[in-house]
Amino acid sequence: MVGIIGFGAYVPFNRLNRAHIKDTFGAPVPKGEKAVANYDEDSITMGAMAALDCSAHLDSKSIDAVYFATTTAPYKEKQSAATIAGVLDTRLDIRTADFCDSLRAGSSAILAGVDAAMQDLNTMVVAGECRLGYSAGPYENHFGDGAAAFLIGNKHVIAEYIDSCSISADFHDLWRADNERFVHSWEERFCISQGYNQFISDSVQGVLKKTGLSPGDFSKIVLYGITPRHQGQIAAKLGFSSAQIQDSLYNQVGNTGTANAPMMLAAALEEAKPNDYILLVSYGEGSDAIVFKVSDEIDHFFPACGLKGYIENKKVTMNYGKYLRWRELIETEPAKRPVQKRSSLPDMYRNRKKNLGFYGVCCNNCGTVQFPPSRICIECRTIDQMEDYRLYGKPARVATFTVDYLAESLDPPTIVAVVDFEGGGRLICYLVDCDPDEVKVGMEVKMSFRHIFTVDSIRTYFWKAVPKL
């Protein structure tokens, strides 16, 4: 049996009420809110957090491949999947690959993961997205940020892969050139009638014919939809009832592009029961329709937080001005501080276990844990008697903190905290995604993988603390 072993998701803490966009431009906007990645988040960091959510109760050393799907990779020439593999603390002898440049990349990566599972490989498939629409345009209202992850293999399968049908066509509806930040689109009626509706119909009818199933056999259809209206219209034409249509997350998160259908699939699996059939339908230069059947193993798997947990953990008070500042769409006064130096590339490589896997060391002589790693124990002064010790996942609390209103930040003030980990280990780090007035000594926190800074086009990533959900 080949299929999904585990699943997880990530939704940014910050949400923008679409009414704030209306307040700025005056034009009508859809109801609800959209998830907005913090200024220190991108498709890699969100994808990494979704993968950690998926693998919280799984052995990361059993992962044989990591595939990452996105249209908003931070680099045009540097693999993102390798970074996520480092955060997951996988073995070095694994496959990594990026699936890019199409909204259908998420389902393409899932199908590649299925193929790998047939070769007895466990594949972590991750989809993360952080797209931009033009200000005052419809896609600024539609787009949201988020990520989903699935471990695909052939043991302890919670959702068995049954069959699939793929349609591919060279079609322009949404596109973005390699030197552009904003997504372009063609006239909606043509895109929906000649592209979306046609490709979706062809893939769904194709997989129903291959499996012998009918619309009534499915508990849920996880159908990518540019908006809920388009999603509902094509589902009805295909014979699915409104109760079968998985919520598109449009009003809580927004359209997350490559990650949209995968996030909906994660939501469907959170509510699924044994023997349920789920139909996953993606879109982008064609369509993939994939049938899964839920097994009894679904009752034994739980993500660390899950999509529902991340959706409920939110702050909706951010305004449109802050959104523009975080996306660096407006130029703000720079801090009167020395220019940030570029990270040392040899240092980044040599310390990748510390920076990505979040490893410290533990003294074999006295058991003292320390971070960053050192050859000399700070307690007993023993030299070279250390073993690797991973701090990620360990319970942690704020020992002390300071709120800095002078430090350069796209989201002032900056909160710097000293964090103590259960079992030993102390870290000085930034504390984000929280109200400064609510921070207190003893507060429980967990670690979140974040973008720290970019200099000379080199992005430096590390860990920050966030309030525990």
How do the domains of the chain map onto residue ranges? 3-326, 345-467
pLDDT in tens, 84-109: 999 999 999 999 999 999 999 999 99
CATH class of 3-326: alpha beta
Name the pTM for this structure: 0.96
Q: Using alpha carbons only, what angle is made at residue 23 by residues 20 and 29, rounded to the nearest 5 degrees?
A: 70
What residue type is 63 in one-letter code? I
Enter the tokens of residue 65: 């491949």
Compute CA distances 393 → 150, 175, 422, 448, whole Å.
19, 39, 10, 10
In angstroms, the CA 233 to CA 289 distance is 17
Enter the tokens of residue 359: 């490893």
pLDDT of residue 226: 84
Confidence band of 332 (pLDDT split at 50, 70, 90) = confident
Confidence band of 394 (pLDDT split at 50, 70, 90) = very high
Neighbours of 340 (CB within 10 A): 12
* Closest by Cα among 448, 465, 431 to 87: 448
Phi and psi at residue 52, in whole multiples of 5°?
Answer: -65, -35
* Closest by Cα among 1, 11, 14, 10 to 432: 14
> Cis before residue 28, ω within 30 degrees of 0?
no
pLDDT of residue 408: 84
Helix-, strand-, coil-residue percentages of the chain, each rounded to 5: 30, 30, 40
Flag whether pLDDT at 290 surpasses 80. yes
